[in-house]
Amino acid sequence: MNTRSGEVWVFAEQEDGKVADIAFELLGKGRELADRLAVKLAAVLLGGNEEMCAKLIEGGADIVRLIEDDRLKVYRGIAYRAAFVSLIRECSPQIVIFGATHMGRDLAPAIASEVRCGLTADCTDLQIGDYTDKKTGEEFKNVLMQIRPAFGGNIIATIVNPRNWPQMATVREGVMKPLERKATDEGRRTKDGIVRHSSNLDGVEIPVEVVEIIRRHSSVNLKGARIIVAGGAGVGSKENFKLLHELAAALGGAVGGSRAAVDLGYCEHERQIGQTGVTVRPALMISCGISGAVQHLAGMKDSAKIIAINTDKDAPIFQAAHYGIVGDLNQVLPKLIAAVKAKG
């Protein structure tokens, strides 16, 4: 099954007739991996349509492996697993990557279990490199280096899966960059790029019925925010958090929080930045009363500019910051808000 010519695959999740953003982030990374290995990059689209295929090809896929089947329109783990495993057995890809979304984290382990291959969860980076098994001395060229934080973010581990291919990983949302979309020449490439497969679901029992889906229309969009004002335990109260909202409003940004701030009830869970929350990399991050636990830093350290405000001059957050203001945020923030409004 370890074929050097095997494709790099990206699972393109779709919901409500739309390809999810994560698919384009994965294509960005997948393109890099496929080019390095000189193989094709394929998006795998289950229950989708031609219009979605066109978007995926614009997003960087060479081909889209499409299974059109009504039983796959709405995600159900058992049906998706059966269809995906049959596709893997037919095509022997060398790498398959999924988003570490709820869907990806439901599907990828089940596939890995059935195919009996390795799977690394929640990667923050993927690279191609050589690996030597220290026990056997065996060398493996150009394998997938799966890089992820572990142990509550205290260590960064590089995992390899050199023997039982495909090499599979889930990748955290927001960490890979999508490519600039290129319009295809009159859809010709799209037509050539779609490879249709059968779902092979006939005779597969699917003991799950989706009765209802209620979408959460979140007003919080941290991932898309250019500027984020984030608070931690040091903000001191929910009341004080209003200052952060005020600054964010003045800057046209969003408000986020550390896990501590969420646990203390200062802000909602959907605002959590860090290893167990959202990974962000805004143009500007203003960090207020956040000490800078590694779990939090993992989710924001790639921000282009970081301003840290903290009363403790030894707080680790300053190590990640470009600008540091040692002081009480209740005094600093009003000055900052006034200065921003004055420039307005």
Q: Please report, as residue ranges, which positions from 115 to 144 form the binding site for other proteins (by CB under 8 A).
A: 116-122, 131, 133
The number of residues in the chain equals 344
CA distance 203 to 139: 42
Q: Is 239 helix (H, G, I), strand (E, B) or coil?
A: helix
Stretch that binds other proteins, among 24-32, 34-42, 235-243, 327-335 (CB under 8 A): 327-335
Nearest to 52 by CA among 93, 80, 24, 32: 24
User: Binding residues for other proteins, how many (CB under 8 A)?
Assistant: 86
User: To the nearest whole angstrom, how small is the minimum distance from the Cβ of residue 142 to other proteins?
Assistant: 14
- The answer to the question of residue 249 lying near other proteins (CB under 8 A) is no
Contact call for residues 124 and 175 (beta carbons, < 8 A): yes
- Cα 262 to Cα 182, 219, 236, 259: the distances in Å are 40, 17, 12, 5
CA distance 9 to 45: 10
Radius of gyration of the chain (CA): 22
Residue of the chain from 17, 152, 187, 265 that contacts other proteins (CB under 8 A)? 152
Stretch that binds other proteins, among 47-55, 89-97, 101-109, 178-186 (CB under 8 A): 101-109
Pick between residue 46 and residue 103 the one whose CB is nearest to other proteins.
103
- φ, ψ dihedrals at 229, nearest 5°: -110, 120
Residues 291-320 that bind other proteins (CB under 8 A): 294, 297-298, 304-305, 307-308, 316, 318-320
Residues 185-224 that bind other proteins (CB under 8 A): 207-216
CA distance 30 to 7: 10
Pick between residue 185 and residue 205 the one whose CB is nearest to other proteins.
205
User: To the nearest whole angstrom, how small is the minimum distance from the Cβ of residue 110 to other proteins?
Assistant: 5
Pick between residue 120 and residue 190 the one whose CB is nearest to other proteins.
120
- The answer to the question of residue 77 lying near other proteins (CB under 8 A) is yes
- CB within 8 Å of 81: residues ≥ 6 apart: 107, 110, 111, 114
User: To the nearest whole angstrom, how small is the minimum distance from the Cβ of residue 205 to other proteins?
Assistant: 9
The terminus-to-terminus CA distance of the chain in angstroms comes to: 61
- CB within 8 Å of 156: residues ≥ 6 apart: 147, 148, 149, 150
Residues 33-72 that bind other proteins (CB under 8 A): none
- The answer to the question of residue 324 lying near other proteins (CB under 8 A) is yes
User: To the nearest whole angstrom, how small is the minimum distance from the Cβ of residue 95 to other proteins?
Assistant: 14
User: To the nearest whole angstrom, how small is the minimum distance from the Cβ of residue 176 to other proteins?
Assistant: 17
Pick between residue 188 and residue 217 the one whose CB is nearest to other proteins.
217
Nearest to 104 by CA among 196, 41, 169: 169
Q: Is 256 helix (H, G, I), strand (E, B) or coil?
A: strand
Pick between residue 195 and residue 304 the one whose CB is nearest to other proteins.
304
- Cα 34 to Cα 23, 26, 222, 291: the distances in Å are 15, 12, 30, 40
Residue of the chain from 26, 112, 175, 254 that contacts other proteins (CB under 8 A)? 112
Pick between residue 137 and residue 207 the one whose CB is nearest to other proteins.
207
User: To the nearest whole angstrom, how small is the minimum distance from the Cβ of residue 102 to other proteins?
Assistant: 4
User: To the nearest whole angstrom, how small is the minimum distance from the Cβ of residue 189 to other proteins?
Assistant: 30
Residue of the chain from 1, 156, 220, 264 that contacts other proteins (CB under 8 A)? 156
